[in-house]
């Protein structure tokens, strides 16, 4: 016999989740926005011996086979599907031959990742500041969105509400990400286990995509993001994560922007939007996120954060970069007038960024960033930029990076077409002036890395370093 715990609320007990026993409601219920049903009186329940770790590993079966036909009920929730998608396929009846590889299970157990709850907590603690997970936190970590991380706050709700093949797919990808995080943080070699779990996740994802076809699913978007971050932490090729980001881009375009104005869809959207726009910058290709409806509609019920606001201003720049490339690589079709238009577009984009910057500075009565000298070896000082918080650092670093990209392309075009120098302000855009401004912006970005790579910021600091690519 064992005593039923009095500090485990009824809600967590039903869902088989860990509970911190806080009053009046536990952190898990508060974080998942569920009603906490309170705590039980002392009761005695029969003790049932659990299987050993080895037996549990050998008896591992995919979740789909355990859930049965009832898994089709996931499609009845209108919050998880596109409006009027009544013809969405029943995944549980169409999925067959699920991948059953389980050789990574032992590593999951050895690293303390025994349950879905353990896996999700590892991801949350490494990508979300601690005060957003309901735990104590150092004062340096504030509640605010990051370049890469805010989307994981949707994982608890998705893992609780999802059953069947979609649940197995998301759990497998979450496990792969948790293993990658553990290997990265502990500096241990887990390549084989990560590869097995990653391969299994890809197999499950392919099968679910084949069944869902042209229907948007939150669970699949979260799955792809987990796999993208696995590629970032344990890359096969430097740019392989971009393939997953492109997949998310296509998933978003299956639905109207109105779908992402609230709920889990909005949480996933604002979490992925930075990566989608950064992908557009890296590939120098126009993005659908530059369309007016995608800039404004997803934020009609929410005030956009400074970073999201900046991304809205910068989202049109990749389209300009694509047109610049066409002008440079096809000189036969590029007239002086066309190149002149490209320079004006880049200059206008930089002007819009500066206008946004001035507006942003007015929102705070105290300094948002400042100089900080740090003494290093050889008795010399390192002059760095320090910020109010991580989100503020992200905003300014990306603001500088977007400016730098515009200026570099202006410089390239003026070198190729020097006769167009008369069209720009010589005090700013002459060859020497451009070089000095670009160098200054690059140094500012470089001097900001010490701040965002602090250990306290864990992986949501590391994942913010894309701007080093432009510097």
pLDDT in tens, the chain (471 residues): 333 455 677 777 766 566 777 666 777 776 666 777 775 543 333 333 333 333 433 433 333 333 333 333 323 333 223 333 334 434 333 333 333 344 455 555 555 567 888 888 888 888 765 444 443 333 333 334 444 567 888 888 888 877 889 999 999 999 999 999 888 888 888 888 999 999 999 999 999 999 988 789 999 999 999 998 898 887 767 778 889 999 999 999 999 999 999 999 999 999 899 999 999 999 999 999 999 999 999 999 999 999 999 999 999 999 999 999 998 888 777 788 898 899 999 999 999 999 999 999 999 888 998 988 877 666 567 788 899 888 899 899 999 999 999 999 999 998 888 888 776 665 556 777 888 899 999 999 999 988 888 876 755 545 555 555 555
d(CA 148, CA 278): 11
Q: Residues 402, 317: contact at Cβ < 8 Å?
A: yes
d(CA 374, CA 382): 5
d(CA 268, CA 260): 8
Q: Residues 455, 126: contact at Cβ < 8 Å?
A: no
Q: Residues 407, 432: contact at Cβ < 8 Å?
A: no
* Terminal C-alpha separation, the chain: 64
58 by Cβ neighbours in 10 Å (0-12 / 13-18 / 19+) ranks as: exposed
The model carries a pTM of: 0.71
Structure-token pair, residue 355 = 């206008």
d(CA 160, CA 80): 13
d(CA 199, CA 433): 51
- The SS3 call for residue 161 is helix
Q: Is 21 left (phi over 0), alpha (psi -120 to 50) or beta?
A: left
Sorted by where each begins, the domain ranges of the chain are 96-300, 317-470
């Amino acid at each position: 016999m064992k005593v039923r715990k009095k500090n485990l609320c009824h809600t967590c007990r039903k869902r088989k989740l860990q509970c911190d026993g806080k009053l009046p409601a536990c952190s898990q219920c508060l974080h998942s926005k569920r009603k906490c049903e309170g705590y039980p009186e002392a009761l005695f329940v029969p003790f049932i011996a659990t299987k050993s770790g080895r037996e549990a590993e050998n008896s591992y079966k995919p979740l789909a086979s355990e859930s049965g036909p009832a898994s089709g009920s996931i499609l009845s929730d209108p919050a998880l599907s596109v409006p009027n998608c009544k013809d969405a396929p029943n995944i549980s009846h169409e999925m067959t031959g699920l991948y059953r590889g389980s050789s990574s299970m032992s590593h999951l157990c050895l690293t303390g990742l025994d349950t879905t709850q353990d896996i999700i907590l590892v991801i949350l603690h490494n990508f979300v500041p601690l005060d957003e997970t309901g735990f104590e936190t150092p004062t340096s970590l504030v509640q605010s969105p990051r370049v890469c991380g805010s989307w994981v706050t949707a994982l608890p709700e998705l893992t609780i509400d999802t059953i069947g093949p979609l649940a197995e797919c998301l759990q497998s990808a979450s496990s792969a990400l948790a293993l990658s995080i553990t290997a990265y943080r502990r500096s241990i070699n887990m390549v084989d286990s990560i590869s097995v779990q990653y391969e299994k996740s890809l197999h499950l994802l392919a099968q679910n995509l084949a069944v869902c076809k042209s229907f948007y699913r939150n669970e699949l978007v979260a799955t792809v993001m987990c796999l993208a971050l696995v590629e970032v932490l344990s890359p096969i090729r430097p740019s392989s994560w971009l393939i997953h980001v492109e997949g998310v881009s296509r998933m978003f375009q299956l639905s109207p922007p109105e779908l992402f104005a609230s709920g889990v869809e909005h949480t996933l959207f604002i979490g992925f939007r930075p990566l989608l726009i950064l992908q557009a910058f890296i590939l120098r290709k126009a993005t659908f996120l530059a369309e007016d409806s995608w800039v404004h509609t997803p934020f009609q019920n929410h005030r956009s954060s400074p970073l999201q606001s900046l991304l809205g201003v910068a989202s049109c720049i990749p389209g300009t970069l694509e047109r610049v490339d066409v002008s440079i690589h096809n000189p036969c079709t590029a007239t002086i007038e066309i190149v002149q238009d490209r320079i004006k577009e880049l200059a206008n984009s930089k002007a819009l960024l500066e206008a946004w910057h001035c507006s942003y500075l007015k929102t705070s009565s105290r300094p948002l960033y400042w100089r900080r000298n740090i003494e290093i070896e050889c008795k010399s000082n390192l002059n760095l930029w320090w910020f109010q918080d991580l989100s503020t650092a992200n905003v300014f670093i990306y603001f500088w990076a977007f400016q730098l990209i515009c200026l570099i392309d202006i410089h390239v075009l003026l070198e190729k077409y020097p006769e167009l120098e008369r069209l720009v302000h010589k005090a700013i855009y002459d060859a020497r002036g451009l070089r000095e401004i670009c160098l200054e912006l690059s140094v500012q970005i470089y001097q900001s890395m010490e701040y965002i790579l602090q250990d306290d910021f864990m992986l949501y600091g590391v994942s913010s370093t894309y701007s080093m690519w432009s510097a």
